Chain A
């Protein structure tokens, strides 16, 4: 079959809402875009464990400590399914991990901000997971079977994390004046990164046209961002917190919250590697991988010896 014809059939399948499965024919660009997106998503889950892991040993109650440990463990689990999903596209987990450790692949830029107080753990669950869920609920409707199925499962857990995060913030906001200040301060620092995290505006999003044509993404960054803002502003108000944007207003006609300008220069600065924690996050992951290597080598050597012993026993 001619390449053009294959491509047309592929587009028809997508347009009729069929899922593409690993063994199906797919254009190289489709494979590349998905490999890029799924692996970035997997790395984000793993790097995201670092800023949250930063507060496990200091969680202010044992109940919160257990919940945070379980949450960070869930993120590791999400990383695992996503690395499995990306392997269906013909790359190995090791390859894609090496790409980001060597600075050739991205991960969600928001994890390059530091977690400075306990309230940041609430802010991440509420804002970062909140934005992620809106994005991932959309991705769950995407055209690639393994990715969309992974998203369905991940979204369920993320919704739980999101409620937990909001509950942390809400509790702080109803607490002592110092606790309330801690919650407001976290919102002040995380608000801009959170509204930036679903990606750049549609007119400056280099991959969007292609990923939307193939229904890898079914809605644009601007739509997702607006949905996040509309959902989050009333939650902030319900907790008695102020969104750090003096131009924020509700448009009665459209029914949407309108924000002041979003600092895209800041967004690109951090994406390009110059956020407060980019170097530290990558170094921490490199250290973990390095520590892992001798452990894996030992396990492999042991398994080999055991295999030989088994063989001698059965001979």
Chain B
């Protein structure tokens, strides 16, 4: 595999993850708990989808077949999506949403930090811009993990249940994209698995501070996203997201 092909897969993983995270968060819009948090969740959804647009546009360029961000978002099926499994999980209650965001954001901050040094100019530029956003996202989701974890009896139970529901998808965040080793040996990206220790450290500290049980980092994890094996949820997300566009092939909007 050429470096360019490998980079296409790598960028696709990032773009799809941001898109599907953004999609799930946007489900909260107009239904958010308390107006201020409706606004905050929508704002974060906007950042994720903004990142997805830059990444999918870049993926299309790398692929070289003239596919646009919309071609990639709307005209691929679940098996062609490369988002991490965590992103596609249902929102559950606010506690589950927040803990899911927290795992993702803790990962994103490390990833964007590392890619800010990439010799690939485009990837570097996207990472630098996204890093500012992911740091803010992490602050938001981490603060809520603390509040809910160390809040009321009810919130403790809810967030613990939320963590339990999403935990087995944590490991898949670190699954290498197809051909990642090519990029690693060319020094373009870090080995994704190498980010794991630092992410686990953020998690451990936060859960301890939140007076929550720290989850088992060696637990059995689900994987498969980088081979196109997703959860049952993704095809529902896509059938909703793509429905209008696919009813009108060739139309402009």
- State the CA gap A69–B46 with chains docked (Å): 7
B224 at the interface (CB under 8 A from A): no
What is the chain A residue whose CB lies nearest that of B154? A294
User: Which chain A residues lie closer than 8 Å to B152 at the CB level?
Assistant: 294, 297-298, 301
Q: How far is the CA of A172 from the CA of B147 in the complex (A)?
A: 46
Using known A-B contacts A61-B70, A118-B244, determine if residue A292 contacts B46 with beta carbons closer than 8 Å.
no
Tell me if A188 is interfacial: C-beta within 8 Å of chain B.
no
Residues facing A in B14-45 (CB within 8 A) are 19, 23, 26-27, 29-39, 42-43, 45
B243 lies within 8 A of A69 (CB): no
Q: Which residues in B have some Cβ–Cβ distance to A below 8 Å?
A: 19, 23, 26-27, 29-39, 42-43, 45-46, 49-50, 52-53, 56, 69-70, 73-74, 93-94, 146-148, 150-152, 154-155, 158, 240-241, 243-245, 247-248, 250-253
CB distance from A241 to the nearest CB of B (A): 17
- CB within 8 A of A66: which of B50, B74, B151, B154? B50
Contact of A76 among B19, B26, B42 (CB under 8 A): B42
Decide: B151 and A301 in contact? CB cutoff 8 A: yes
Q: Please state if A302 and B150 are interface contacts (CB–CB under 8 Å).
A: yes
Q: Is the CB of B42 within 8 A of A73?
A: yes
Complex CA gap A79/B245 in Å reads 32
| Chain A interface residue count, Cβ-Cβ cutoff 8 angstroms | 49
Q: Which of B33, B70, B154 has the most CB of A within 10 A?
A: B33
Q: Is A28 an interface residue (CB 8 A)?
A: no
A314 CB–B CB distance under 8 Å: no
Q: Tell me which residues from 149 to 178 in chain A have a Cβ below 8 Å from any Cβ of chain B.
A: 168, 171-172, 175-176, 178
- Pick the interface stretch among A1-9, A10-18, A51-59, A223-231: A51-59
Known: A73-B46, A302-B150. A175 touches B252 (CB 8 A): yes
List the B residue with the shortest CB-CB distance to A293. Answer: B33
Most central of A76, A171, A291 by chain B CB within 10 Å: A76
Nearest residue, chain B, Cβ from A178: B248
Report the Cα distance A236→B30, complex, angstroms.
29
Which 8 pairs, one residue from A and one from B, show the smallest C-beta to C-beta distance? A298-B151, A53-B30, A298-B155, A292-B33, A49-B30, A302-B147, A292-B34, A60-B244
Q: Are B151 and A56 in contact (CB under 8 A)?
A: no
Instruction: Give which listed residue, A175, A178, A288, A305, contacts B31 with CB less than 8 A.
Output: A288
Give every chain B residue within 8 A of A291 (Cβ-Cβ). 31, 33, 93-94
The answer to whether B240 touches A284, judged by C-beta atoms less than 8 angstroms apart, is: no
Interface SS of B by simple majority: helix
A169 to B48, CA, bound (A): 27
A110 to chain B, nearest CB (A): 16
B204 to chain A, nearest CB (A): 20
Q: Which residue of A lies closest to B38 (CB)?
A: A76
A299 within 8 A of B: yes
Nearest CB in chain B: distance from A290 CB, A = 9
Interchain CB contact under 8 A, A294 and B42: no
Scoring A58, A176, A294 by chain B CB atoms within 10 A of each residue's CB, the highest score goes to A294
Q: Please give the distance in Å from A235's CB to the nearest CB on chain B.
A: 19
CA distance A118 to B244 in the complex (A): 8
> Does A295 interact with chain B (Cβ within 8 Å)?
yes
Q: How far is the CA of A250 from the CA of B163 in the complex (A)?
A: 64
Determine whether the beta carbon of B34 is less than 8 Å from that of A72: no
Taking the nearest CB of chain A, how far is it from the CB of B139, in angstroms?
A: 15
A58-B240 CB under 8 A given contacts A49-B29, A298-B152: yes
Contacts of B26 in A (CB 8 A): 56-57, 65, 69
Contacts of A266-292 to chain B: CB distance below 8 A? 284, 287-288, 291-292
A46 is an interface residue with CB less than 8 A from chain B: yes
Smallest CB separation, B156 vs chain A (Å): 8
A59 to chain B, nearest CB (A): 8
Residue A239 at the chain B interface, CB threshold 8 Å:
no
Other A-B contacts than A52-B30, A58-B243, A63-B53, 9 sampled, CB-CB below 8 A, are A61-B253, A62-B52, A66-B53, A79-B35, A171-B252, A176-B250, A284-B31, A292-B34, A299-B151
Over the window 109-143 of chain A, the binary record of Cβ atoms lying under 8 Å from chain B Cβ atoms (1 yes, 0 no) is 00000000010000000000000000000000000
23 of the cross-chain contacts (CB-CB < 8 Å) are A50-B30, A53-B31, A60-B244, A61-B70, A62-B53, A63-B53, A65-B49, A66-B53, A69-B45, A70-B46, A76-B38, A76-B39, A175-B248, A175-B251, A176-B251, A288-B31, A291-B31, A294-B155, A297-B151, A298-B151, A299-B147, A299-B151, A301-B155
Distance of A203 Cα from B3 Cα, bound (Å): 74
Most buried by A among B26, B158, B240: B26
Closest B residue to A73 using CB positions: B42
A282 to chain B: closest CB distance in Å? 13
Whether A62 pairs with B146 at a CB distance below 8 angstroms is: no
Task: Across the interface, name the chain B residue whose C-beta is closest to A52.
Answer: B30
